[in-house]
Structure 1
Amino acid sequence: MNAVRMPAEWEKHTRTWVIWPCRTEIWEGQEELAKQSYEKVIRAIAQYESVTVIVNPELFEEVSQRLADIHSTVTFFIKGVDDSWARDVLPFFAVTKDNKLHAINWAFNAWGEKFSPYTKDQEIGDHLIRALDDSEELASFESISMILEGGSVHFDGEGTLLTTKQCLLNANRNPDLSQNEIENNLKHYFGISKVIWLEEGIFGDVDTDGHVDVIAAFVKPGTVITMSTEDTEHPNYSIYMKNKAVLEQSVDAKGRSFNIIEIPQPAPQMWNEQPLPLSYINFYIVNGAVIVPIFNDPNDDIALAIFEQVFPEHNVIPVFALPIFRGGGGIHCITMQQPALRENLEE
């Protein structure tokens, strides 16, 4: 096991990284609506912590003007990228035992060669690491040769990782690695001791092959939030049941059984004759707030009420996220947290 700890997302952040939308074709004529939703997310985060927006050089003037009134909390990292899913292409940040920031970069193949080009997205993590190293924010870093995306894994901060077999065992990622080999890599690089393998991601999540951050997430140690449906005919019904059974039969790295919190899923919606993987689980936690996707759906209010119960010390901020989901992701997908260092790290 590596001598690092992966902080949970609810721990304090130094900043959040976001990539501004740039792959026009994925928005199918809805790019401006997507940009408006991205901007709402950035503005919500900026109320609570610093935001660094990665932006293609040709889009910098536009973005700078759109965010001109919040330049005190928003900075820009001008570098070429192919797409706008920070969670999947930026490095993860861990903390070493001596309380230093450590970056972990991974190999990226555009979710199994689904989109092209992606060379700039492959390189953006290295550019970010070099910038943080030059500014002395970063103490160390390493690269993983295994194909991975940040949305395919989720951490509880205490040695447990949550993922799905549908994604990490997909032949379009690491066909030469067995489940055991992938699990050992995850344990080694991320300093964890327990991997919980859910069966599948949400129905319709074809772009990512079932990322875990669309279907289940830790909200505190020993507690996982997911979705449910009473519609036994909906494909998600059996998926939720299988994943719930895994959680009920599992314990985390500390030996705790899981408390499972369920939110009724939003009503199904189609986009270009394909089902959208709409999810309240693709939320993002910042310093003092939780940014929750909503869809103008009857279950929005139920979801927000549950988040208020789960995070009583946080402000719950709803953001209309349907335009982002039309492009293949959600609020969690467009963000990556950089954790703040703290004293007396747990051994």
Structure 2
Amino acid sequence: MTWTMPAEWAPQDRVWMAFPRVGNTLGDDAESADEARNAWAAVANAVAGFEPVTMVVDPSALAEARRRLSGEIELLEAPLDDYWMRDIGPTFVIGDDGALGAIDWTFNGWGANAWATWERDDRIAGFVAESASAVHLPSTLVNEGGAIHVDGEGTVLVTETVQLDPRRNPYATKERVEWELKRTLHATNVIWLPRGLTRDYESAGTRGHVDMVASFARPGVILQHWQDDASHPDYAVVRQIRAVLEQATDAAGRPFEFIDLPAPTTLQDDEGYVDWNYANHLVVNGGVIACGYGEPDADGRAAGILADAYDREVVTIDARPILARGGGIHCITQQQPSIDTTLPVVERVLRAHTTDRFA
């Protein structure tokens, strides 16, 4: 069986999310907690305007979820530690027989961070796989969905400081990681970026998730975060990443075309240099859910670039409460691609539960 991860602009059945619960990420006071809940709900309600949304909710947060979410959003109860669905949930793939698969990466709190707990989160990928009637495909690679980005044709972007992180995969080599990505995603061309954004290496960061830096708009075309203020440390970072990508080609041998996503003008907040970017967006059926930062000119410019790149409607959500907690809109969502609906439902479900599992 060959499994392939479709591009994010491929047709989708739904988007999966997880709702905030009391814990380290939520905040220490009621105002901070409301800010987080409202931000997650705003994203979910925006996505629901384009396609179905399923929200995994810790039992302790069910009342809060019902209060803030559209009645169109499906709620599923499951115990949670945190609520970054891109990372704790599965990465969906499609088999060459049309079956839906769900890769369950090994999760260890973004590299065994001292502040993180993950006993419950490590079970969410399996829970989502079962709920979606997908083949559960375990992987021993410590990885997160935000640490990969594919073009649907065999090219995948990764970051040396994530997959080769000694706190994630202490015995990994590039060759071993590439073998696993080929086995799970059908990645035939792995492009190793040297690092991620500067703030992503602070205590609450992921140490270099690619979805804060770059994404594919279509095969051969990369949307890249671009910082043009030389006083920001990411000025050098984005140019280092561009230099690597300019020397690379995709799985078909094509050199890349680049679309810059200029950073907002804000450079710092109370914690230091910001990682505000527009690369961390979600593509949905007929639309794009984009990060906004309270800067009308910069947000509008980014929305226009994304609309042109995807030829879809763009909805901008204030993502500052999400970025302040360590991620963006892409990080809190996970798309489930559509499968071959010409097969009868019974046959699709039967295939999903009888296909050989990964070793």
Taking structure 1 as the reference length, the TM-score comes to 0.92
Deviations 1:80-110 (A, max 9, x none): 0000100001111111111111111110010
Q: Distance in 2 between matches of 1:204 and 1:274?
A: 8
Please name the residue that 2:117 is paired with.
117
Higher mean alpha-carbon deviation, 301-310 vs 323-332, is at 301-310
Q: How far did residue 337 of structure 1 move?
A: 0.6
Q: How far off is 1:141 after superposition?
A: 2.5
- Tell me the SS of whatever aligns to 1:306: helix
Note if contact 2:23-2:81 (Cα within 8 Å) is conserved in structure 1: no
1:204 aligns to what SS in structure 2?
Answer: helix
Measured after TM superposition, the shift of residue 23 of structure 1 is 4.3
Residue number in structure 1 paired with 2:352: none
Residue equivalent to 2:183? 188
| Closer, same or farther: CA 154–325 of 1 in aligned 2, 3 Å | same
Equivalence for 1:45: 47
Shift of 1:177: 1.1
CA distance in 1, matches of 2:65, 2:279: 28
Partner of 2:98: 99
Letter in 2 for 1:61: A
SS at match of 2:61: helix
The AA in structure 2 aligned to 1:46 is A
**Rounded Cα–Cα distance in structure 2 between residues aligned with 1:270 and 1:7:** 36
Residue of 210, 235, 238 corresponding to 2:236: 238
1:157 correspondence with 2:152:
yes
- 2: CA distance, partners of 1:154 / 1:87: 11
Residue by residue over 1:165-212, the C-alpha shift from the partner in whole angstroms, topping out at 9 and shown as x without a partner, is 122222111011112211111112211100011111111012100100
Partner amino acid for 1:278?
W
Change (3 A) 1:84 1:271: farther
Partner of 2:20: 21
- 2:35 maps to 33
> What is the correspondence of 1:219-238 to structure 2 with a 5 Å cutoff?
219-238=217-236
Name stretches of at least 5 consecutive residues in structure 2 with no aligned partner: 343-359
Residue 197 of structure 2 contacts residue 237 of structure 2 at CA under 8 Å; is this kept in 1? yes
Paired AA for residue 289 in structure 1: G
Q: Is the 8 A contact 1:24 1:31 kept in 2?
A: no
The residue type paired with residue 197 of structure 2 is I
CA distance in 2, matches of 1:343, 1:6: 17
**Structure 1, 27-36 or 242-251: larger mean CA deviation:** 27-36
Letter in 2 for 1:315: E
Displacement of 1:343 after TM fit? Answer: 7.2
8 Å contact from structure 1 (residues 271, 326) kept in 2: no
Kindly indicate whether the alpha-carbon contact (under 8 Å) linking 2:154 and 2:188 is maintained by their aligned counterparts in 1. yes
- Letter matched to residue 311 of structure 1: Y
CA shift for structure 1 position 299: 1.7
2:306 and 2:60 map into 1 onto residues whose CA distance is: 38
Distance in 1 separating the partners of 2:40 and 2:248: 36
After the TM superposition, which residues 1-347 of structure 1 pair with which residues of structure 2 at under 5 Å, given as runs?
3-28=2-27, 29=29, 30-67=32-69, 70-71=70-71, 73-114=72-113, 115-132=115-132, 137-138=133-134, 140-206=135-201, 207-297=205-295, 298-312=297-311, 314-342=312-340
TM-score (norm 2): 0.89
Shift, 1:234, TM fit: 2.0
In structure 1, distance between residues paired with 2:138 and 2:272: 36
- Which stretch shifts more, 269-278 or 317-326? 269-278
Distance 1:112 1:23 in 2: 22
Name the SS for the 1:143 alignment partner: strand
Distance verdict in 2 for CA 1:16–1:233, change over 3 Å = same
Shift of 1:161: 0.4
Q: Following TM superposition, by how much is the alpha carbon of 1:282 offset from its aligned partner in structure 2, in angstroms?
A: 0.6
